[in-house]
Amino acid sequence: MNIMDAARSLGLVDSNGTMAGTVDQQNVLGALVELAENDPTHADLYGEAAEFVQGARSAGMEILEANGLKSRPGAEETTQLRYRSEMADLFIDLAIDVGLRNQALAASA
């Protein structure tokens, strides 16, 4: 999976260019882990992006009630939310950084 495919899977790419709402931080971090596992050459960039996500402005917490549709049976959970537009910008910047690094690696080879 490439970076923009990961962004699409999280709902961070919108055809009309506007981005609103929130996204679950764990979903974003999971996508970054998957990208790092699939592209270990740039694992440091994915790690920096994950640090940014963890320190990003909070968009609130969602409490998933026990036995709700989104939660595990019998467990009340909280989910940290981040602003979708900020996470979209992060993935675009990450794609640019990886692309520039790939270009520099190819030029030096």
pLDDT in tens, 99-108: 999 999 899 9
Q: Is a pLDDT exceeding 90 seen at residue 26?
A: yes
Asked if 94 contacts 49 with a C-beta cutoff of 8 angstroms, the reply is yes
DSSP labels, 9-25: HTT---TTS---SEEEH
Domain layout of the chain by residue ranges: 3-96
Q: Is a pLDDT exceeding 70 seen at residue 76?
A: no
What's the pLDDT score for residue 20?
83
Q: Give the Cα separation of 72 and 2 in Å (integer).
A: 30
User: At 77, is the pLDDT very low, low, confident or very high (cuts 50, 70, 90)?
Assistant: confident
Task: Answer whether 0.95 is exceeded by the pTM.
Answer: no
